[in-house]
Structure formats: structure tokens, C-alpha cells
Amino acid sequence: MVDSEKTGISRRQWLCATSGLLAAQALADNTRPADMPAVDYPRATSGDTGVEPGWEARLTVTVGREKADLCGTSDKVIQAAADYVARLGGGTVQVLPGEYRLRNSIFLPSGVRIVGSGLDSVLSKEAAVETTLEANSDWYDQEVTLADASGFEVGDGICLITENPHHGGTDVVKRTLVARSGNRFKLDKALRKNYWVAKTPRALSLFPLITAEYQSRLAIENIALDGNRDNNPFLNGNYSGCIWFQDCDRITLRKVTARNQNGDGISWQIGHDVLVEGCHAHDNAGLGLHPGSGSQRSIIRNNRIERNKIGLFFCWGATYGLAEKNQVLDSGETGISIGHRDNGNLVRENEVRGSGKTGILFREEREGFAPTANRIEGNRIVDNGAEDSAAVDIQGQANGNTLAGNAIRETRAAASRIGIRVGASAKDNSLIDNTIEGFAVAVQDLSKG
């Protein structure tokens, strides 16, 4: 028996805690031993999502200007097709050639695949409108009052931005306008933040073109997404992108063009087992590809990533990922950036060329949060940075990383350029068999005093 007087725990609390531990143990042990019988004839069984027959055909719904199952050129017709397919267990929405003008995101439900006709199927964002709020809304409210409602319509996706009235930080929420009376609009969900006019909150018609939250088994293939960068304000990749996912898993993005976004091209936050293959992310104001915070086991291969501010950005805690055979070209600042708790990633056989500041950067991070055990192998790192910069820059407390067999070249002029710079606080990083040519200094290792 538990002595509650000594432990301060009642018998009921102890029983609850014990049952929770037993349940956790049961889940931990719920793995199939190697000698379990193989599932050689899978069947569709109610509630069984772990094993599914390999069906030769699933439902496909076509969307287009004409001669399609659903005709139209807006986000509403594509959304209707996605919801219909999801209701019947999943399948494909085929977007026929044409330009589709979006006033809101396409929200992907689990099990839905969007497939286009290459560059002939273009989802474009309408020009943004912006105004302030003219009435206070508290965190529990599900409505806002706009100072100028011209340009806003029921069904629009919006972004609400304000200074937090308590700590001075920035609060951002994304919502859909679902009803209207004059300048008052009902939202699809409550605000959950305080939007008080004293802090000059703003409403902007900003949104990702395709998005999902808490969904799985998603695919987007062979389609072009255009963010209309010149006519939309900047919104960073923690909230948006041509494609933006949050808390999703088992995603395939193949042969997608993500371009001209005033923000990120493709961003996935806490996204697991994401495959990005054969895509073209170009001319985005933020990050080309953004494996976001907490993302596990991303595979990023054979993509062309060019003329973005940063080409490939491993965010916080992006781990056990593979980036291979990508072309990362003409990034405004950095080609490939690795930082906060980004551990165990393999970056190999990529071409990183023409970055404005640094080809590959291990970002400044304090001890306990620095990137560890990443392997940078067999990459071609050519003509990156200004005359006084490093092609590969290992900053902060980065430790236990390996650079092996990379070809690091400078063909413009040696000037004051450095091939690899290892910062003073970095430790236990290995440089193995790298070819470094054309620099004033091949390796500057400040960690050795």
C-alpha cells in the first residue's frame, strides 16, 4: 500500500498515475516482433488505418473552367472538390489547365491529393487589401469590426496582426470571414488573442495558397502556385507560404512550382515524414524550402531552389532529415542554413552557388541548443558570399558535425574570402577530405585559439 502521509499522494492519485504508466507501457510495447505473421492479403477493415489494400483506383474529381466535374476558377470550387473526395475516404482532385484566382486558402483534408497539369495549372493569390480594426475584440470574441471593409468579402481568408497589449510581442492569427453586417464580420473561429484598438491591430487578406493543420496522408503534385508578391505584404513562414502545413504528417510534394511569394515558398511546421521532390521554389522573399520547427525525417531531393532570401532553412529541431541532389542557387543571403537543435541531418550532393552572404551556415546558437551530429557530404559549394565572408561558416556552439568530401571553390577572386570558418565556441567538428580552392584562407579555425 501507498503511505499517503509520507508521500503526500492519495490512493486515488496513485491508482490514476499507475494506470497511466501501465497504459504508456502498453503503447510502448505495441510493436510487431520480427517473427509475427506477415499481412499477405490486406483487407479494408473498420477502424484499421495501419494496413490498407493497395487499391488500383480511387475517386478522382476534376476541376476546371469547363468540361470538368466541378466548373469554376476560384478557391471555392477546388475546396468543394477536396471536401467531397475526403468525405468518401480520400482520392484525387485533378486541377485542369487554367489560372485559378484565390481569395482564401485551399484547406486539405486527410487523404486528399491535389494534382495539376504542370505550369499550365496555376493557383494565384489575389492582391491583398488591408485595414485597421475600429472596435475592440477580446480573446473570446468571434468577430471583428473593420475600419474600411472595402475589398473584403464573406469567404475571404484574412490575417489579423497586433501588438500584444500585455507583453508587447506580436500576435498573428489566420481566420476566414463567414458572415457580415456592414463593417462587422463573423470569423470561423474565436480570436483567442486580444485585438484592442489602442494597439492599432490590422486585418490583411493574407493566407497560404494551400494549407493544412492536423491532417495526414496529403499530396500536392505537378502544379504551380504564384503568391503575387508585388501585390501582397510580407508574412513570414511561421504563418504562411505558397504551401504551409502545421502539425501534419506523411506528405508528398512532387513537381510543385512555388514562386513569387512575399514570404516562404514551401513551409512545413512540426511536419513529419515530408517528401519534397522535383519541386521548383523560386523568387520568394523569404525561405525557399522551410522544414520548420520540430519536423522529423524530411526528405528533400532533386529540387531547384533559386533566388530566395535563404534557399533551404532548417528551423528549430528539424532532425533526421535528408537533403540531397538539390540545386540551391543565387540565394540573397544563405544557401543552406542549419541551427537551433537541428540534429542528425544528412546534407549531401547538393550544388550551392551564388549565395549573397554564405553558402552553408551553422547559425549562432548557445550551448544545449546548437546543431549537432549533422553531416555535410559531397556538396559543390561555389562562389558564395562577399569578398570578406566564408563559404561555409560554423558559428556559435555547433558541435559534433562533419564536413566530408565537399568541393568548396571560389572562381571570382580570392580577396579576403575564407573557405571554411570555424567559430571560437564551436567544438569537435570534423573536416575530412574537403577540396578548397581559390580562397585567401582555406580554413580559419578560431576554435583552436
For cell 471555392, the residue is: 76
Residue 247: Cβ-neighbour burial (10 angstroms; 0-12, 13-18, 19+): middle
Cα–Cα distances in angstroms (integers) from residue 392 to residues 275, 305, 355, 400, 411, in the given order: 26, 18, 11, 16, 15
Place of cell 481566420: 175
Measured distance CA(440)–CA(277) in Å, rounded: 37
How far lies 59's CA from each of 53, 84, 93, 159, 334, in Å? 15, 10, 9, 34, 43
In the chain, how long is the greatest CA-to-CA distance?
78
Q: Would 110-119+208-448 and 130-204 be classified into the same CATH topology?
A: no
In this structure, how many other beta carbons lie within 10 angstroms of the beta carbon of residue 195? 25
pLDDT in tens for each of the 449 residues of the chain?
344 444 444 444 433 444 444 444 444 455 678 888 888 889 988 888 778 888 888 899 999 999 999 999 999 999 999 999 999 999 999 999 999 999 999 999 999 999 999 999 999 999 999 999 999 999 999 999 999 999 999 999 999 999 998 999 999 999 999 999 999 999 999 999 999 999 999 999 999 999 999 999 999 999 999 999 999 999 999 999 999 999 999 999 999 999 999 999 999 999 999 999 999 999 999 999 999 999 999 999 999 999 999 999 999 999 999 999 999 999 999 999 999 999 999 999 999 999 999 999 999 999 899 999 999 999 999 999 999 999 999 999 999 999 999 999 999 999 999 999 999 999 999 999 999 999 999 999 998 86
Question: How many contiguous H segments (helices) and E segments (strands) does the chain have?
Answer: 3, 38
pTM > 0.85: yes or no: yes
In three state form, how does the secondary structure of 324-372 look?
ECCEEECCCCEEEEECCCCECCEEECCEEECCCCEEEEECCCCCCCCCE
Q: Which three cell numbers stand for residue 100?
A: 485559378
What is the spatial distance between Cα 344 and Cα 319, in angstroms, rounded to a whole number? 6
Q: What is the CATH number of domain 130-204?
A: 2.40.30
Dist CA 85 CA 113 (whole Å): 9
Q: Give the start-to-end residue ranges of the domains of the chain.
A: 110-119+208-448, 130-204
**How far is Cα 188 from Cα 104, in angstroms, rounded to an integer?**
13
Beta pairing, strands 130-132 & 202-204: antiparallel
Q: Whole-angstrom Cα distance, residue 155 to residue 105?
A: 10
Burial (0-12, 13-18, 19+ Cβ within 10 Å), 70: middle
**CA–CA gap between residue 178 and residue 418 (Å, rounded):** 56
Topology given in CATH for the domain delimited by 110-119+208-448: Pectate Lyase C-like (2.160.20)
